[in-house]
Structure 1
Amino acid sequence: MSFTIEERGRPNTQDYRVFFQNSEGKYISPFHDIPIYANEAENIFHAVVEVPRWTNAKMEIATKDPLNPLKQDLKKGNLRYVANVFPHKGYIWNYGAIPQTWEDPNHKDSDTGCCGDNDPIDICDIGNKVCTRGEIIKVKVLGTLALIDEGETDWKVIVINTEDPEAGDFNDIDDVRRLKPGYLEATFDWFKRYKVPDGKPENQFAFNGEFKDRDFAIATVKSTHEFWKALISKKTDAGELNCMNTSVSDSPFCCSAGDAEAVVKSACDFGAEDPIPSSVDKWFYYEK
């Protein structure tokens, strides 16, 4: 199963979008149409790369837009770039989401005591390859960190790209600790402090910031898949979320290929990119 992207608008502007197509050239939603599983028997999942490692632009699946293209998040009306908190530069993994998952904002997690953040579940790919924006990768789940972001449960699932030459050595969270010493500590530090330059307090965590193991993480991913199933079948209220899709045959939100193409064609034509502001390279320092 292969996927391609089609960029519309001008990169580094508010009209920039990344749409997705399947191997037949049909426009699809990366939220709803890409299967969660690449290999269900082996618990290999698909993941959508929203933010390649070392970059700062806060790209994300636009959950409220038709076909859910990638677009850059806004903060106070301006394009959002994640600050560099020393010693980190941009995102320190390929960051993205697992399709066909949803952290239900009406479900209080029994472990964290907080409701979901209304988004697909997030992944941090620790593989060596720096992926490209919109790339679809196959990943092994290794563990998870339970971030509590402004009172909401926001799982960060640690994964490795199955095509990584070292993927066979990584099967659980302890393998990350052993083979990439310092990476989990850096991950915790990154999520704790990344909003501080924006004037916000440090983020909090469930389980005292402890990373949970592979089995716990896989169970968490699978539970968010069940929430998504209820969402896409209209058994739960979608609220502002856009569930337009082209392949979930029993979904009341399923649309024709023509309707999907009309969404893409209504977006701005692809054009030259704007420069990234020089302020994005600034490093922020503060005492832990």
Structure 2
Amino acid sequence: MPQPLSQSGADTAQRVAHVRDMARWIRQRALRMAFEAGQGHPGGDLSVTDILATLYFDAMRYDPANPRWAGRDRFILSKGHATGALYSTLAKAGFFPEDELTTYMQPLSRLNGHPNRVKIPGVETNTGPLGHGMPIAVGIAIAGQIDAGQNGRADYRVFVTTGDGELQEGSNWEAAMTAGHRKLSNLTLIVDRNRLQQGAPTEETVTLEPLADKWRAFGWDVEEIDGHDIAALLPLLDGSLARAKPLCIIANTVKGKGVSFMENKAAWHHGIPNAEQFAQAMQELEA
């Protein structure tokens, strides 16, 4: 099976450079998809890109030729509206042809506004209604824990990315309590902490802080990092650090990352650039 780059012998500088190149391509492709479709969620696509690129092009073990391989690491994008970034990542990773990205949100396309596991190889579960992905990830991690205890074979890891506004859904905290209780060391949550949800800052809607303390209180290890710092993401995601608890990574990100007029603007949660804005954005993302 294909090896993650983290296990290839490449040094850190090589790994960072490779992931950064992939992230640049994903950002450009995701924004083009939203522009051409006239719909999407570009702000959240751009904030989560470095996380996706690090997972798929350095850390995770998977086989695009055999998407349901039992030994694969599992990833769930709970903030399922960020499909521009997810589909671009899956296509670049080889799960389906890159030219299919041009069908994004078109009639009869399988690349819908929210991912569908029945239609799209590499998608672990349907997401979209917020608060669903984290509980499903906990269930998958429990299954892996049980299998490993019974036969010693299940060594896959489970990753889930939520939005920060999504954490206002109570189902996440029920799942967090269960994961902490069961000490699911095979589970990693990455919170895309861009501090903006649809229409307003998270702290004006329902206060999340002190977020790190809340996760620790539920029995999790917690790391707070710059979510665009690939060198900081690598050791937290590549499995090289042994843990006895589930891990929550609070990845401080920027909504609309890489495009000056989009950054930290709630309007770009689902705003679509016009032709002039798109040209400027693509130029900036090339840098």
- TM-score where L is the length of structure 2: 0.26
**Quick check: which one's helix share is greater?**
2
